[in-house]
Amino acid sequence: MCGIVGLIGEPKAGPKLYPALFALQHRGQDAAGILSYDFERSQFHLEKDLGLVQDIFTEERQNRLKGSMALGHTRYSTIGTVDKEDLQPLFLSYPYGIGMIHNGNVTNYDEVVDDLRKSKQRWTFSRNDLEILLHMTAVGLTSAKEAETLSQKMATAIRELLVKVEGAYSAIGMLADQGMFAFSDSHGIRPLLVGRKKVGDKFSYCFASEKQVFFGLGYEYWRDLQPGELILVDKELNFYSFELSKKEARPCMFEWIYFAGSETEWHGRPVYDVRLNLGRILAEECQKKGLEIDVVAPVPDTSRAAACRLAEVLQKPYREVLIKNRYVQRSFIVNQPELRKMMVNLKLSPVESEIRGKKILLVDDSIVRGTTSARIIRLLRDSGAEKVYLASTCPPIRNPCFYGIDFPEGKSLIAHEKSEAEIEEFLGVDGLVYLPLERLQEGLGLKSFCSACLDGDYPVPVSTESFMKTRNHNIGGDGKSEVPL
């Protein structure tokens, strides 16, 4: 999962993506990058590195990013490594200079790499699946008819790409001396939104994973990119849209549950509103169980809205019993195990005065492996809680996700085989309330979405064995990676 943003028609577009990437930092903290293009000098400028946005883009590096078109990326590794050669943006120089960023996972990586090698004599040099999107675009443009306009050539190239490259991906690209393009897989599993700003009688455009980017840059949110749609904006700011492949929209439900910022929206469903809805449904489920509760408390930060609504419906006080230390980052580097453990402990600190002697209903966005939840529950008990119940706004996660959220192995998921009673025992809670799967549609307010990790209904079929082989090879080891859940 990553954050992506593209901007065209804006002076100093590169440096302007620096604040925009702050708005997408929660989508990836492993690395970040900006690629800009200067139409006057026909030059690309690239700055990317491991780490957080604020640590990478010094003033000097921002000033090097010249031009009125730019791409920005925050990286969370699911395929590929966190080695420098895998960082985005990536680019190629033939048949045009093409730069690109994406958010998602290609699920038939080996097959496409093999095909590129054997039938197109193209080799990949990174372990990032973005590189095959880049090659496929280049191959399509090379084989397009000379007489076609650029937008026709692009439509031909991306139509072919959507057929051959399986998975969940939203991508933004730049063509040297030409303009910017954006496309999404045929089911639109990963988010990409379009914003615009009036410039004379035309618009400058911004593409972003989340809506708050537009607010930060002074753009208005216009619309979502549709599944299988290609948008092209040329250097004169003419706008073209192509419907290249139309399949049922299957947006990832986990964006609303956990991943997206509360202030964004997608498919007309504001994330905050959905989280309030999930809280109401959980309150009704708690009432059915007849739990005795003194206070309702969120696990910060994602579940705050749901916990608020849940407390309102149950007419119980809402309290913050855990405080998140915003200065302890996920990517912190501490070599001594003892210090590292202390840092992990500091990420969430208990407010003992609000915990001691209370029956607490803790609300979390999801329970993935269960180890973090178990640790938090132990923390509340050690701080004197009389009872601890846990409510999850996500139904039980039983299956792997192959589309860009890092829970790919079924056996590591606590709900994969365990019953609710067994999960309760593992977590050490006095009661457990999951949002029922059959009420998720009501909570999201959508008819169709991806919920494969809950019910096994995968919009794009995947061979688990070959996916895991590719993933473990690309990670370069045993497939273990740090997971923020």
Query: Which residues contact ligand SF4 by CB under 6 A?
Result: 168, 189, 252-254, 401, 403, 405, 450-453
Helix axes 464-475, 109-120, angle to 10 degrees: 80
Q: Residue 225 gets which letter from DSSP?
A: P
Active-site hit among 2, 252, 394, 401: 2
- Among 372, 402, 469, CA closest to 362: 372
Nearer to ligand SF4, 231 or 450 (CB): 450
Alpha helices (runs of H) in 121-264, residue ranges in sequence order: 130-143, 150-164, 212-217, 254
Tell me the CA distances in angstroms from 229 to 142, 176, 232, 449, one per residue in order.
21, 21, 10, 17
Sheet hosting strand 220-224, strand order edge to edge: 43-50, 31-38, 69-75, 3-8, 202-208, 193-199, 220-224
Is position 401 annotated as part of the catalytic site?
Answer: no
Neighbours of 333 (CB within 10 A): 8
Nearer to ligand SF4, 313 or 437 (CB): 437
Instruction: Find all residues with CB under 8 Å of 338, minimum gap 6, and list them.
Output: none
Nearer to ligand SF4, 154 or 274 (CB): 274
Answer whether the bond into residue 478 is a cis peptide, omega within 30°. Answer: no
Q: Are 193 and 23 in contact (CB under 8 A)?
A: no
Neighbours of 411 (CB within 10 A): 7
Q: Which residues pair with 221 in a beta bridge?
A: 195
Tell me which residues are annotated as active site.
Answer: 2
